[in-house]
Amino acid sequence: MDRSSLRNMILAALFVALLAIGGQINIPVGPAPITLQTLILMLIGSLLGARWGLISLLVFVALAAVGVPVLTAGKGGLAALMGPTGGYVLSMPLAAFVIGWLVGRWGRDGKIKAWQLTVAHIIGGIVIVHAIGFPWLLAATGMPVNEAFTSALLIFLPGDLLKALVATGVVLALYQAVPQLRQTKN
């Protein structure tokens, strides 16, 4: 095993732990709480890249499925994973992959612009997460679409956009402080 793979495995494990912690910091606002998990998801995709971002989120989902209390409010198990917010959790591996792929594609020369990072975070961390999570929530709760649109989608968008901007700033600062974190390939 080379140093890069070992580094990525360690970072993936640390980010899985950070993602679990991010779910414990939550604000209940309706059928789905506000957490720091989407912010951490954006960091995972940007810093680990498509492959390792996907792997780390698959590990997170597997841990949740077998009952490790990594989900919001210390929940775990298939029942929690298949509940109303399960679609958001299950979207995370794809979201991290897409963020990592976009960052790797746009940052091939070792440089990526802030707007590119922000767009990658919005596409992966907001569009994909809500495109999978919101219909799942509708199906699991039976909420009317107009009620759910306000209480389970619109309410999250301002905070999600703020998280995308914060993630961009953090990633750019980390790229500058630790150049080895830059994704030059997927």
pLDDT-derived band of residue 185, with 50, 70 and 90 as boundaries? Answer: very low
Q: Please report how the helices 129-141 and 86-106 are oriented relative to each other, as an axis angle in degrees rounded to 10.
A: 170
Within a domain: 16: yes
3-state secondary structure of 107: coil
Within a domain: 186: no
Q: What is the pTM of this model?
A: 0.94
Lowest-pLDDT range of 118-122, 152-156, 158-162: 152-156
71 φ/ψ angles, rounded to the nearest 5 degrees: -85, 170
Q: Residue 116: is it exposed, middle or buried by C-beta count within 10 angstroms (0-12/13-18/19+)?
A: middle
What stretches of the chain show up as alpha helix (H) in DSSP?
A: 3-24, 37-65, 78-81, 86-106, 114-122, 129-141, 145-149, 157-177
What pLDDT sits at residue 184? 46
- Number of structural domains (the chain) is 1
Q: What is the mean pLDDT of residues 109-134?
A: 95
pLDDT-derived band of residue 84, with 50, 70 and 90 as boundaries? Answer: very high
Q: Which two tokens mark 41? A: 């998801």
Q: 60 is in which domain, residue-wise? A: 3-181
Write the DSSP symbol of residue 34: E
What pLDDT sits at residue 109? 77
Within a domain: 44: yes
Within a domain: 129: yes
Within a domain: 97: yes
Within a domain: 23: yes
Report the phi/psi class of residue 74: left, alpha or beta, with left for phi > 0 and alpha for psi in -120 to 50: left
- Give the CATH number of the domain where residue 170 resides: 1.10.1760.20
Lowest-pLDDT range of 71-80, 95-104, 106-115: 106-115
Within a domain: 55: yes
